[in-house]
Structure 1
Amino acid sequence: MDKLQAMTVLVRVVEAQSFSKAAETLSMPRSSVTTIIKNLEAHLGTPLLRRSTRTLSLTDAGARYFASCQAILSEIARAEDDLSIEVTHPRGRVRVDMPGVIGRAIVVPRLREFEERFPDIELMLGVSDRPADLIYDGIDCVIRTGELIDSTLVARRLGQLNWITCASPRYLSQHGEPDSVGALHTHRIINYISNATGRPMDWRFNVDGEAVVMTMTSRFAVNDTEAYLQCGLEGLGLIQLSEFAAFPYLQSGRLKEVLTETRCSPVPISILYPDGRNATAAVKVFVDWIVEIAKSDLLP
């Protein structure tokens, strides 16, 4: 027996004071309404209604049960209304993790716009180069660069990052500009330490259509993009990072790209979140917003 349906039928019969009228409003045959009430009374082990040819009234047990049914159905309706409101007017807290350079350059400058559009959503932004774990850290969605491993998460592509090799004019005036990938071994290199592995990241190039991966030795290595950039700006050596992170310094002349013909293939950037059944309305609208601003602010 469907108890929720039985409660609904009982409440409708009492409110309509008629089996026939209740059946009509429920779009059910009168016989089905009668059978449901009989089965409910049998299940509860007590009569709920007194019936005559002209009147319909509740027994004492029926009155108590009827009041409980009204309260339960009212609470269910309220819960459904709350969810409906949340879908049309999303609210709640969204925890997000993203690389520092994307957070600082793209997301934070647009937060006022997000607040104006979704005033009832509270954002908690994790902005760093150390990737968070969605489950362990209680994160709702993450922005990640690179190829994605198989996952139960939904991934939406935001664009791509072009990786470049560059150095400051100061460094290049002292050490010259490398004319080939092979010449890098005679230059000072700054390595970036992956927060995921704790090891320096390989340097990647594309030479005559072939992918080239090189493990470079260095005197200095850091695990933060801002610190990595600063090492390059100070003339400590060559650095390899996203064009997006280096762009303002390339424009100002504080950095210069080298080995332009050997850029490696672009790296995809994506936002990941739980599948639609588990993602809240607030998470979904945040993801949609990120996809929207990425089209205009981020990448080709």
Structure 2
Amino acid sequence: MSADSGLVENKSNLKDNRHIKKKKMLNLTCLYIYMDNKLTQKHGENMNQLLAMRAYIRVVESASFIRAASQLSMPRSTVSKLITDLEKHLETRLIRRTTRTVTVTTEGLEYYRYAVKLLNGVDEADSAVRGKKQKPRGHLRLEVQVIFACTFLIPALPEFYREYPDITLALGINDRTVNMVGEGVDCAIRAGTIQDLSVIARPLINMHYITCASPAYLSAMGTPRHPHDIQNDHRCINYHSASSGKTDPLIFHRGDEAVVVNNCLYSASDGNGLRDMIMAGLGVGQILREFIEPEIRTGRLVPVLTDWNRSPLPFHIIYERDNHQNARLRAFVDWMTERFGR
């Protein structure tokens, strides 16, 4: 066989494979629609199950019928009826409602996970049939640490919206460790070393620590000249893990010297709390400089021990290994790594 004939055959096989893949996706969409119609006919309900499932996902992720209705651009009463009809169809309570709270039942959480996977498949099938020229669309649920969200992500989101106006985001802002599969999270932005081998971690920026205190505190207690001064003569503040409760020490490096200060009197589980405690004059703290740059510029916080440093803190965007086939997630991850990658 000649090289030219082999090339022609390979191109032909590639074309056939693309045709088969597109046909499979189309068949999958038809199957979902068929299932939806058969289930509706079986129970004699006038219900669009796929729409009801989309409404249910929004209610779970926003923890509010009002917010879900706003995101879906439909009346709250319509969303409520869709959920009620879905529960009747399943003969199972999915959500417990009160005047102030929405609580997902155990069965409801299980159904939510299946619904997210199914609708991701439907959206992927739609995208395959419409062709690659159409921008990715659909909903993503993210979990982001407070400092990264406030300092980098939220200010940049208008850029993402301009590029991908059909992708909606539910942003969970906290410093806890989430169960991505169990909680239906598409991706998360986390700090530190990623040890979970079940996820893919793409590197983003490194953030840098600074040791600082309020002017009032330094006026009252004096300015430390050495980390041992903080250990012996000062109050210190630092971050503690929301999941384990363990407080991080203050860590100092200068050349071959290293000092670790453990006797923190106060701690906070997120960046906002840590910043506010330092600004309140409760002690000397270590915090990420990029997060408190405005306070440094205006003099509300004063750097100390500037000839000492601490290793930078790396941030990553992580997602499940089998989840990157989702076109909207792929678009978001690629945008994040291009915008904030190192």
| TMscore range, shorter length | 0.5 to 0.7
Report Cα offsets for 1:157-202 as digits up to 9, x if no partner. Answer: 1120111110011111111111111111210112322113212112
Find the counterpart in structure 1 of residue 156 from structure 2: 110
Aligned to 1:198: 245
In structure 2, relative to structure 1, the CA distance for the partners of 1:227 and 1:72 (3 Å cut) is closer
Aligned residue number for residue 188 of structure 1? 235
How many residues are aligned here?
Answer: 227
Distance between the aligned counterparts of 1:174 and 1:99, measured in 2? 33
Q: In 2, distance between residues paired with 1:104 and 1:74? A: 41
Please state whether the residue corresponding to 2:286 is helix, strand or coil: strand
Matched, 1:280 2:232: no
The AA in structure 1 aligned to 2:27 is: E
Maintained 8 Å contact 2:127/2:136: no
Q: 1:75 aligns with which of 27, 32, 39?
A: 27
Say which of 196, 199, 211 aligns to 1:165: 211
Once the two structures are superposed, residues 100-134 of structure 1 have per-residue CA deviations (whole angstroms, 9 ceiling, x without a partner) of 12212322223232222212211111112223221
By how many angstroms is 1:292 displaced? 2.6
Q: CA deviation at 1:271?
A: 0.8
Deviation of 1:86 (Å): 7.2
Larger radius of gyration: 1
Change (3 A) 1:182 1:206: same
Alpha-carbon distance in 1 for matches of 2:285, 2:264: 12
Counterpart code for 2:327: A
Offset, 1:138: 1.4
2:192 is matched by which residue type in structure 1?
Answer: G
Task: Report SS of the residue matched to 2:253.
Answer: strand
Which structure's relative contact order is higher, taking Cα pairs within 8 Å and 6+ residues apart?
A: 1
* Pairwise CA distance, 1:276: 6.1
Q: Does 1:227 align with 2:227?
A: no
Following superposition, the deviation at residue 274 of structure 1 comes to 2.2
Q: TM-score, normalised by structure 1?
A: 0.68
Structure 2: 5+ residue stretches without partners: 1-11, 13-22, 31-121
Structure 1 distance, partners of 2:203, 2:282, is: 35
Aligned pair in 2 of structure 1 residues 73, 91: CA closer, same or farther (>3 Å)?
Answer: closer
1:1-300 matches, cutoff 5 A: 75=27, 82-84=126-128, 85=130, 88=133, 89-185=135-231, 186-218=233-265, 220-275=266-321, 278-294=324-340
Q: CA deviation at 1:152?
A: 2.2
State the Cα deviation string for residues 52-106 of structure 1 (Å, max 9, x = none). xxxxxxxxxxxxxxxxxxx999736977862424755211211111111221232
Shift, 1:230, TM fit: 1.1
Report the RMSD for the aligned CA atoms in angstroms: 2.8
Task: Kindly state the Cα deviation for residue 203 of structure 1 after the two structures are TM-superposed.
Answer: 1.5
Q: Distance in 2 between matches of 1:173 and 1:245?
A: 24
**Amino acid in the other structure paired with 1:82:** D
State the percentage of identical aligned residues: 33
SS in structure 1 at match of 2:307: helix
Distance 1:271 1:163 in 2: 20
Q: Which region of structure 1 is more displaced relative to structure 2, 245-254 or 201-210?
A: 201-210
Change over 3 Å in CA distance of 1:154–1:87 after alignment to 2: farther
SS of the counterpart of 2:205? Answer: strand
Contact 1:99 1:143 in 2 (8 A): yes
